[in-house]
Amino acid sequence: MIAFLFFLVFLLVYMVFAVYAERKLSAFIQDRLGPTEIGPYGMFQTLADLVKLLQKEDIVPVKADKWVFLAAPAVIFTAIFAGFAVMPLTPTLQGSGAVVGVFYLLTIVSIDIVGLLAAGWSSNNKYSLLGAMRSVAQIVSYEIPVGLSVLCVVVLCQTLDLQEICYQQGIYIRTLPVYSESTNYLFGIKRLGIDMTEVGGFLTWNVIRMPLFFIVYIIFFIATLAEANRAPFDIPEAESELVGGFHTEYSGFRWALLFLAEYGMMLLVSFLGAVLFFGGWNTLFPNIGPVRLADWTSGMPGTIYGNITGAFWIILKAFIGVFIQMWVRWTYPRLRVDQLMHLCWKVLTPLSLLLLFISALWKLL
């Protein structure tokens, strides 16, 4: 329950600051000023927009399928928010310790396809329906390279538990239900790839332990951009072609809910990328001889200091991932539909299959 409330509040606060940050970042890239009028440096612009959206009338088109139209945004947001349930924020703070966390996450997030299609179909608008069909085709296609890139990590770590994947990338061994000083280091057990467990830090991250995992992460990052409908993969929302895509007919609070779901998806895939490839809640700094940087910057699991440092590191890594997604959006032009599908089926999917095969060989040898 604590984890649920934390993620809910965190997601709402994150969205307010993320929208402001993206506006300022896009302004910087395009040599503009961005929000400047409301509050110091325009910091309260997003809050003003949120108040405006909450006060707007909730309009339902006359010929729309009312109940499906009203339920679709809630389905989309719920599917994405439910993904945070298995995300390990610290060594002890996790909504659900499901041992099949990876499988659950990939499954529950894919349900947002139902909401997207329902939103477009129920609007009784040809532009909304076209946007929904594009979205379904895109997300279903790019789920394949996402799944294959995640499988590369699962093959190496031999677990579907996201918390266990975090432990395998740090200096501590998972000893449930208690932790003791005598078992905080792991010797000779995690011989998966390059074993640097005593050193810790970035040298134990999966992206370092398996040399080709940086390429795997690039595939994961590109495919999750498409999953989140972010530019240059925002064809379902292409305003120059479809007015606004599947959410053309939405206004007020329900439009804000769709917007929140998009930013929530950005944060979720950034958290997942941090857990799978960049150590999760483990520290960046390694132990260098007598200078025990990893010990000092990552407290013992189960302690207050360990929870604080764990939350700091994973949130920092996730925010860097969100920043890169924003950077990409305002740098690259939108792809055409044929280019998008060519990239998925003829480039990312075959490369993911090859890397999965290499990961299996790496594990065996």
Burial class of 292 by CB neighbour count within 10 A (0 to 12, 13 to 18, 19+)? middle
pLDDT tens per residue, range 204-224: 999 998 889 999 999 999 999
Strand boundaries in the chain, DSSP class E: 287-288, 291-292
Q: How far apart are alpha carbons 205 and 209 in whole angstroms?
A: 6
Q: Which of 281, 313, 237, 250 is nearest to 91 (CA)?
A: 281
pLDDT band per the 50, 70, 90 thresholds, residue 190: very low
What's the pLDDT score for residue 181? Answer: 40
Residue 101 identity (one-letter amino acid): G
pLDDT above 70 (res 112): yes
Q: How far apart are alpha carbons 18 and 245 in whole angstroms?
A: 22
pLDDT above 70 (res 196): no
What does the DSSP 8-state code read for residue 300?
Answer: P
What's the pLDDT score for residue 3? Answer: 67
Please say whether the beta carbons of 190 and 106 come within 8 A: no
Q: How far apart are alpha carbons 334 and 342 in whole angstroms?
A: 14
Beta bridge partners of 75: none
Structure tokens at 347: 């480039």
Place of tokens 């055409």: 336
pLDDT band per the 50, 70, 90 thresholds, residue 84: very high
Scored b (16 or more CB within 10 A) or e, 245-279 reads bbbbbbeeebbbbbbbbbbbbbbbbbbbbbbbbbb
pTM score: 0.91
DSSP 102-135: HHHHHHHHTTHHHHHHHHHHHTT-HHHHHHHHHH
**For the CA atoms of the chain, what is the radius of gyration?**
21
Beta bridge partners of 292: 287
pLDDT tens per residue, range 124-141: 988 888 888 888 899 999
What's the pLDDT score for residue 96? Answer: 85
Q: How far apart are alpha carbons 58 and 70 in whole angstroms?
A: 10
What 3-state class would DSSP assign to 101? helix
pLDDT tens per residue, range 308-332: 999 999 999 999 999 999 999 999 9
Structure tokens at 133: 């069909």
What's the pLDDT score for residue 1? Answer: 65
What does the DSSP 8-state code read for residue 168?
Answer: T
Return mean pLDDT, the chain: 87
pLDDT above 60 (res 50): yes
Structure tokens at 130: 């076209």
Q: What is the largest CA-CA distance in the chain?
A: 72
Q: How far apart are alpha carbons 241 and 94 in whole angstroms?
A: 42
Which has more confidence, 39 or 243?
A: 39
Q: Which of 113, 54, 102 is nearest to 253 (CA)?
A: 54
Q: How many helices (H) and strands (E) does the chain have?
A: 15, 2
Percent residues over pLDDT 70 in the chain: 91
Please say whether the beta carbons of 280 and 306 come within 8 A: no
